Amino acid sequence: MIARIRKSQLFLVPVLATFLTFSCTVDDDGPKVHPAKVKETIFDAMHEWYYWDHELPVTVDARLLSNEELLEVLRYKTLDRWSYLTTREQFNRAFTGLNIGHGLGFSLSQEGRVYVSFVYSGSPAGEAGVERGWEIVEINGRPVDSYRKGNGYDFNLGPEQVGVSNTFGFALPDGSRTARTIQKADYQSNSVLYQDFIKTDGRTIGYWVYNGFKAALGVEPTKSLEVEESMAYFGENNIDELIVDLRYNGGGSVDVAEQIMNYLIPSGYSGSLMYTNALNSQKSDLNESKYFEKRGNIEIDRIIFITSRGSASASELLINCLAPYLDVVLIGDNTYGKPVGAFPLSGFYKVLETANVELVPITFAIANANGKAEYFSGLPVDFPVGDDPGRNWGDLEEKRLKAALEYVRTGTVGADSRIFYTAPSWSMIDNFQGLRKEFPVY
């Protein structure tokens, strides 16, 4: 969950009572930045901006540490699973959907079999015709079970570099088998994986599979054009209900989450409090409140969210901020548990900018209009229903979609939809760290 903060809002707070040991001092005048100065700046920036600044060590001997190792020493491990370092280019690419990879996700069925969970249409996997619902039986000639590691999987797909290839063996829903050798490439990912509406009992139910809160490249103010198109689609079809499928959505831009909420909030609540955010005590003057500004013509009083442990960050923000105003129902698994967010700091530190080091630590927490802000264990699901990745998007027999439609019709989810549920032993989001945890994809 990434927020933007205007530079004009900022004020500097001196770092007091801190000391960092380095092997040398450096001259700032040249175009190059000595690694020691970069580490010093990381240390100072964390003490100025880190949400848990009171938990930071006062002194660190960083002489033998890399930048990443230094951040690991500083990170408040009790709650912080997310602060990371990257480059400015990688950060900007990720939040506008520019990826290098195959462009597909994996998920376990209730029986423990590995399936393609989603495919980005413009990715190498999408162009190779791979679809959700294909079972993965082999990777590079090895049975998929041979990639088991502990409770999960390590698929060993190689570095995220253009040209790296892997061969996948698939079992298709019709019983046939096929193989695809897919090269990693640079591609633009789509956030909307599926959208449609379903007519049942005289009502029109929208179904929206949304994966990654990504902004359109070069568009100001920050927003998603895909979101605008989807909201127009559902508005034109006069939906009475909406099912929002966030089961693999690891988060992204707060600006895009706000954009979605402004379309989904009933018009009667326009102007009501969306959320308040809180920075550390040094930065309390930057705390702010955000209010709804109704857009579009969608008028609904209930949203059913399909969630899983892969639903994190901005996905949880969306659910949490709408809950005070709409009837919100969660079907699937408990969410990940990230009630905090970050913004990149290189723009405020010339040393980091010159060295092309993007520091993205946790800098704020967000509370909804009811003050709910603590859900580090995830948002609890109302009706636990297992994932069903062997069926493609829109299949009315897919377990979670079927359960959501049952809830629309009856106001509950019957035992037959829940009886075979078991908590997943592994979720794809567990295989990713740092920036890639926000947008997990292979």
Query: 245-278, pLDDT tens digit by residue?
Result: 999 999 999 999 999 999 999 999 999 999 999 9
Ramachandran region of residue 376, left (φ > 0), alpha (ψ -120 to 50) or beta?
alpha
Partners of 48 in the β-ladder: none
* Backbone dihedral angles phi then psi of residue 424, each to the nearest 5 degrees: -65, 140
> Is 70 exceeded by the pLDDT of residue 210?
yes
| Dihedral sign computed on CA atoms, order 301, 306, 307, 313 | negative
What is the pTM (predicted TM-score) of this model?
A: 0.93
Which domains are delineated in the chain?
101-188 (2.30.42.10), 192-340+365-423 (3.90.226.10)
Element counts in the chain: helices (H) and strands (E): 11, 24
pLDDT the model gives residue 424: 82
Mean pLDDT over the full length of the chain: 92
Give the confidence band of 27 by pLDDT, cuts at 50, 70, 90.
very low
**Distance (Å, whole) CA 171 – CA 179:** 9
Q: What is the pLDDT of residues 295-340, one digit of tens each?
A: 999 999 999 999 999 999 999 999 999 999 999 999 999 999 999 9
Would you state the pLDDT for residue 195? 98
350-402 residue pLDDT tens: 999 999 999 999 999 999 999 999 999 999 999 999 999 999 999 999 999 99
User: Hunting for tokens 């989904």 — which residue is that?
Assistant: 264
C-beta separation of 184 from 161 below 8 A: yes
Choose between 275 and 21: higher pLDDT: 275
Banded pLDDT at 436 (limits 50, 70, 90): very high
pLDDT at 415: 82
Mean pLDDT across 120-136: 98
pLDDT of residue 31: 55
Element (H, E) at 180: strand 177-183
